[in-house]
Copies of this chain bind each other. A is one copy, B any other.
Amino acid sequence: MRFVTFGEIMLRLKPPGAERFLQSPAFEATFGGGEANVAVSLARFGLESSFVTAVPDSPMGEACIGELRRYGVDTNMILKTGKRLGIYFLEQGAAQRSSVVIYDRENSSVSETSAEKYDWEKIFAGASWFHITGITPAISLNASNVALAAVNQAKKRGLTVSCDLNYRGKLWKYGKKAPEVMSEIMRFADIAVGNEEDCQKSLGIDPGFTTGNAGFDEKRYRVITDAVLDSFPDLKKIALTLRQSVSADSNGWSAVLNNRKEYIGSLRYDINDIVDRVGSGDAFAAGLIYGLNKYDEDREALNFAVAASCLKHSVPGDFPLITETEVLNLLKSGGSGRVVR
């Protein structure tokens, strides 16, 4: 069973520690991106995980591929073409100060490589699952076309398709609106992942009220997930994460899943002293994909996903470098953080 993910991977440049941009003349330089993070996480869980993208034929592109390979991701379907690797600058927040993301990803290889450049036959050969997110169709018209082609190709080959709605307000600049494009893509999806804001902004679904940070009435999430399921009749399940942002360092973290039969609330974790929350939504998506393939019960899959993404908050960088054993230990122990020796 092979799991395929398609999307953009970027160079991530972050000042050391909690420094503001260029307080010191240095950047921590890693790689990341919503879909790549999922691909890495699946590989860390021991699955056969292929990442499909385009990177420039340069030492930077080479380094990017090497880093994915290092964590066990199959990179054989990555195209070496185009002009540049997308970049994102990340200034990590602390206490009451928010993290800041500056995108410098226009004209990247993946945003300008057209659908026919990809060999979908080879990409999906022997694969059982395809994962995509709402970020790819947001970066350029071309990328949205590739995204659509990809889900189409995956679906017609019988793969399960999962889609993380992932609304990014700083993208979607090329003319089309998110709901217009995402609704088309979602028609191919079996599983949807996201949060409340994604449902509203990515799909244009208005539940008629706001939940907001305070209150967190989990039951009202039922209304929203029902609304999404109603809009996309082929969608089998939708899971939403619930983040209570107390500060940049402290978050509550849980999720719900609606599979048309049940509406399930997950375990909840209070995460303090967050090391890096970027990629935690992707860790949730990967955990859910893994869980749905491993467990019979959706509740177990959902809790696996929540625990996996809880642990991601403790790992520097975008990549969810978390093993299945660690997730299971957290589910058993409750996360007291005792030294293992």
A-side interface residues toward B, CB under 8 Å?
13, 17-30, 58-60, 62-63, 66-67, 69-72, 83-85, 87, 89, 91, 93-104, 106-107, 168-170, 213, 245-250, 269, 271-275, 277-278, 310-311, 313-317, 321, 326, 329-330, 335-341
Q: Given the known A-B contacts A94-B314, A100-B59, are A26 and B26 also in contact in the complex, defined by CB atoms under 8 Å?
A: yes
Say whether chain A's binding surface is mostly helix, strand, loop, or mixed.
Answer: loop
Chain B residues lying within 8 Å of A326, measured Cβ to Cβ, are: 97
Contact A93 B316, beta carbon cutoff 8 Å: no
Contact A341 B103, beta carbon cutoff 8 Å: yes
- Taken together, the copies of this chain in the complex come to 6
Chain B residues lying within 8 Å of A63, measured Cβ to Cβ, are: 21-22
Most chain B beta-carbon contacts within 10 A, residue among A20, A94, A278: A94
Contact B99 A58, beta carbon cutoff 8 Å: no
CB proximity of A103 to chain B, nearest CB, Å: 7
In the complex, what distance in Å separates the CA atom of A47 from the CA atom of B242?
Answer: 41
Chain B residues lying within 8 Å of A321, measured Cβ to Cβ, are: 20, 23
Q: Given the known A-B contacts A13-B27, A70-B69, A316-B18, are A275 and B102 also in contact in the complex, defined by CB atoms under 8 Å?
A: no
In the complex, what distance in Å separates the CA atom of A21 from the CA atom of B335?
Answer: 20
Partner of A95, one of B24, B66, B70, B314: B314
Most chain B beta-carbon contacts within 10 A, residue among A60, A85, A275, A314: A314
Contact B29 A28, beta carbon cutoff 8 Å: no
Q: Given the known A-B contacts A20-B321, A95-B272, A337-B93, are A69 and B67 also in contact in the complex, defined by CB atoms under 8 Å?
A: no
